[in-house]
Structure 1
Amino acid sequence: ELLLTTYAFCYHFQSDDPLIKLVEDYKWIDFFDFHWRLGIDGLSLGPILLTGLITTLATLVAWPVTRDSRLFHFFMLAMYSGQIGSFSSRDLLLFFIIWEYQWNLIIHT
């Protein structure tokens, strides 16, 4: 994930442009006019790259985990996706749902 994130930022992100990059905007719930909006600006660039680095290092350090290793790596990827989602969400409802998903994952593990 660190290599993919670094590749996306190196080749698809212009830091001199102040607009939001790597934007995803889909109509999510038509009845309430909710959107699935994700995007990255200069402020969220650092935390996303740092999250990728720390997650990669934590996965490499925990390589000798033998008890329920598949479950451990599943939770690592779920936490990683929650962190990236909370850093890149551009809609308040989506941010709230991702934030609650992430904290419920921490509490129930």
Structure 2
Amino acid sequence: MSKESLLLMVDIIWGNGSEILSSNSFVLNVTHRKNGNKINYDDSEKIQITSADIPGLPVSQNDWSEDLLKKNLIGTFLKCEIEEKDNSGMILGKVSHSGVGGY
């Protein structure tokens, strides 16, 4: 694997949405972690959504609400492609619906 490829690898976690924190953040109960992730992830992680591919969520985050996230994320198996983890421990990442089998 080339050095450039290693730089482009993204950490990924999967799990179920469990608690809505705001109109663009939630708690993910982590059930799966990609082999080769750069850091370890707890069983419960706070996620701030930078972009989403989730049926039922409008493209524009300006149209999101806590109720809309609750309807579309709670109990749903989700994939989070991690962009960064800030000093407070909040993960910033792309969130998408993960189908049956999850990966």
TM bucket (normalised to shorter chain) is under 0.3
Q: Tell me: higher relative CO, structure 1 or 2? Use CA pairs within 8 A at least 6 residues apart.
A: 2
Flag the structure with larger Rg: 1
Please report the TM-score for the alignment, with normalisation by the length of structure 1: 0.20
Larger helix percent: 1
